[in-house]
Amino acid sequence: MERVVKLSRFTQRILWWELFIPTVLLVLGVYHGLLQTLYRAGIIQSTSFLGLEYYQGLTLHGVINAVVYTTFFAVAFGNALFIYYLEKEPKPLWNGLSFGLMTLGTILAAIPMLSGDASVLYTFYPPLKAHPAFYIGAALLIVGSWVAFFNWIPLYLEWHRENPDKKIPLAILGIMATFIIWLVATAAVAVEVLFMLIPWSLGWINTINIPLSRTLFWFFGHPLVYFWLLPVYIMYYVMLPKLSGGKLFSDNAARLVFLLFIVFSIPVGVHHQFTEPGLSKDTKLLHSLFTFFVAVPSLITAFTVAASLEHGAWSRGARGLFSWMFKQPYWDKDKYLFPYLVMGLVIFIFGGFTGIVNASYNMNLVVHNTSWISGHFHLTVAGPVILGMLGMALYMMEHISGRRCPWRWGAMVFPYLWTIGLAFLSTGLMIGGLHGEPRRTNLGITYLNPQSDLYRPDWETWTTITAIGGVILFIAALVYFIAFFGTLIWTKAGDEVLYFPTSEPLHEERKVAWLNQLAPWIMVLIFLIVVAYTPAIVEVLENTYANAPGYTPANPLPQLPNP
Ligand code: HAS
């Protein structure tokens, strides 16, 4: 009998709401994704089905899907991992405070987004200016997630004191790495929001240093992607081998991966700013170099996880070089989490490859600000990240509510449908991008407008393929929502418990001290931040772009004059 952990009523309710609220919002986020693809293809003439304009819909799409959903999920998952693997329940008071702050922050940020006063996209780059409530809401969401993390630290230390000779459970090491990265990264965006954006949006200061604010944003913005990815890596290492019927190929390699992410996730943010003035080519080169280092833990993951899947398949009779790929529980409804994870991995092969293209300075100049970038991030955030999170949210919801999903077939088919949709969407976006199709573009104003003399007909095929992907993704999402919300109203079938499938390591590896400590890796991280960011910050403070006024996107924007 597998170990299950019973939950206190309070914690059960918190976990339930932490999964429920972002999933409800996701309905709106996904819907706006569909509208974007139809609009870009010229199939609909505006994105205003709900009275929202283009940048407003795109802001909702990015903020809900990439920031709100992922943050709520990471906190819920972290709470659940501490309860399950350390058998220690986070303090209810702090748990409640964390949830309250995140919810309040989300509501505060949602009001100006819905009223059209915060159409600044998820990157909220100045000079785009939002209502102060948007920035204050975002800050509260982040502080709420910090409170959750601070609630876990004493449990982590207590466990170490009680078990000095044992290895910290891998899932706990993974979630601690995730939130260390998050804490350090969000500190920079907190400086940007508190000292630059809020005073500016309140009218206390009139102008803003754009390169500085963007540099602070990307100090946060790139590690943000690993804050999304690492919870899913925990699933790949801790749960997937077990679901495949095998064991984790190397526990020590898995630990090394999480620790390398602590070191390399942050000093790379300037790779988002290769084309920007104000930063020297030397700084850009340094960040480009570090970006290649941050791909290393993912390459280790590719081999370790593939070897674990191979072990699973071989344990069930697979032989030969490639049969391990096919002898997997792809269609086992009782293991529906498997396809969410494995399809995420398959998608990430392409997401990772395109990331390496982006990181290469000279190739970045070809793809930057084109729809190629949107293709890349849908193969990462909308691929492994969202698939893993959606699968785990449904799986956790079943257990913590004691209800069985009434449509397991739908739950199992969703990741395959999603993968097909994503293949169309990203192919269209990326090839369109290679033909110069821009990202973040309101068709009404530019060369994507068929009425304009600047119109480029060769983009039409690719925007149409993107729209086909958008429709398939939307249908897939409906399947998921039926499975998820159906579970909430289905009759109870058992106790409200937590259970995670947990892989054993293939080899009994000895405890390696430096793979079970966080402090030395945090020291290296601080050193690398100083090396990578001192020149960047000095340069953007010295430059001459410091005094930009604010700008609010209006719709429709004026047509560009014909040449
Ligand atoms: Fe990225 C832009 C570089 C990973 C997300 N990225 C973005 C943006 C987002 C994003 C959202 O250097 C746009 C931001 C904006 O709004 O402007 N990215 C990288 C690199 C990696 C990378 C080098 N990105 C991610 C991940 C994301 C994400 C992960 C979300 C979760 N990215 C960039 C750069 C830019 C950028 C530039 C700026 C571009 C610009 O100009 O604006 C690396 O971490 C990728 C390493 C990954 C691998 C893949 C390993 C493969 C695995 C799968 C194995 C499969 C198996 C399955 C085992 C090397 C682990 C086998 C089973 C079978 C059945 C076959």
Nearest CA to ligand 1 atom 29: 380
State which H helix or E strand residue 6 sits in.
strand 5-6
* Separation of alpha carbons 198 and 204, rounded Å: 9
Q: Mean pLDDT over residues 319-325, rounded?
A: 90
295 contacts 268 by C-beta, under 8 angstroms:
no
What is the secondary structure of 361-386 as a DSSP string? HHHHHHHTTBHHHHHHHHTTIIIIIH
pLDDT higher than 80, residue 481 = yes
User: Is 316 considered catalytic here?
Assistant: no
- Tell me what pLDDT residue 209 has: 87
Q: Does 39 participate in catalysis according to the annotation?
A: no
Report, as an integer, the average pLDDT of 270-275: 95
Say if CB 92 and CB 10 are below 8 A apart.
Answer: yes
What whole-number distance in Å separates Cα of residue 278 and Cα of residue 272? Answer: 13
Give the DSSP per-residue string, 181-240.
Answer: HHHHHHHHHHHIIIIIIHHHHTTSSS-B-HHHHHHHHHHHHHHHHHHHHHHHHHIIIIIH
User: Among 10-24, 181-195, 290-304, 537-551, which is the least confidently predicted range?
Assistant: 537-551
517 φψ region: left (φ > 0), alpha (ψ -120 to 50), beta (else): beta
Looking at ligand 1, which atom is closest to the CA of residue 268? 12
- Cα 389 from Cα 401, distance rounded (Å): 17
Determine the pLDDT at residue 559.
Answer: 45
The 10s digit of each residue's pLDDT in 539-549 is 998 876 656 66
Place of tokens 């139809």: 38
- Residue for token digits 């620790």? 259
pLDDT of residue 277: 85
Residue 401: pLDDT band (50, 70, 90) is: very high
- Which residues does ligand 1 sit against, CB inside 6 Å? 123, 225, 228-229, 271-272, 291, 294-295, 298-299, 301-302, 305-306, 309, 325, 342, 345-346, 348-349, 352, 355-356, 358-359, 364, 368, 373, 376-377, 380-381, 385
Alpha-carbon gap, residue 170 to 251, rounded angstroms? 8
Measured CA to CA, the distance from residue 215 to residue 112 in angstroms comes to 25
Rounded Cα gap, residues 408 and 482, in angstroms: 10
- So what's the pLDDT on residue 47? 62
Give residue 275's pLDDT.
92
CB neighbour class for 319 (10 Å; exposed up to 12, middle 13-18, buried from 19): exposed
| pLDDT > 70 fraction of the chain, expressed in percent and rounded | 94
Q: Name the band, by pLDDT with cuts 50, 70 and 90, for residue 551.
A: low
61 carries an active-site annotation:
no
Q: Is the pLDDT of residue 557 over 90?
A: no
User: Does residue 116 come out as left (phi exceeding 0), alpha (psi in the -120 to 50 range) or beta?
Assistant: left
Query: What residue's CA is closest to ligand 1, atom 12?
Result: 359
- Residue whose Cα lies nearest atom 32 of ligand 1: it is 355
Give the pLDDT band (50/70/90) at residue 15: very high
Nearest CA to ligand 1 atom 51: 349
Percent residues over pLDDT 90 in the chain? 80
The one catalytic residue among 264, 290, 377, 481: 377
70-113, pLDDT tens digit by residue?
999 999 999 999 999 999 999 999 999 999 999 999 999 999 99
Give which of 286, 340, 70, 97 is closest to 178, Cα–Cα: 70
The pLDDT assigned to 218 comes to 96
Dmax (CA) for the chain in angstroms is 73
Residue type, 331: W
Structure tokens belonging to residue 433:
């991008």
**pLDDT (average), residues 326-332:** 95
Catalytic residue flag (residue 131): no
Nearest to 348 by CA among 377, 390, 325, 389: 377
Average pLDDT, stretch 471-478? 98
Token pair, residue 392, equals 């785990």
Higher model confidence: residue 233 or residue 438? Answer: 233
Q: Are 173 and 189 in contact (CB under 8 A)?
A: no
**Can you tell me the mean pLDDT for 33-51?**
78
Q: CA-to-CA distance for 40 and 44, rounded, in angstroms?
A: 8
pLDDT band at 550 (very low <50, low <70, confident <90, very high): low
The region that residue 320 occupies, defined by phi over 0 for left and psi between -120 and 50 for alpha, beta otherwise, is left
Q: Using one digit for the tens of pLDDT, what is the confidence trace for 164-223?
A: 989 999 999 999 999 999 999 999 999 999 999 999 999 998 888 888 999 999 999 999
Q: Which of 40, 214, 255, 376 is catalytic?
A: 376
Among 222, 301, 373, the mutation site with the greatest number of ligand 1 atoms within 8 A of its Cβ is: 373
Token pair belonging to 421: 């949709």
Q: Say whether pLDDT at 51 is over 70.
A: no
* pLDDT band per the 50, 70, 90 thresholds, residue 491: confident
| Whole-number average pLDDT of the chain | 92
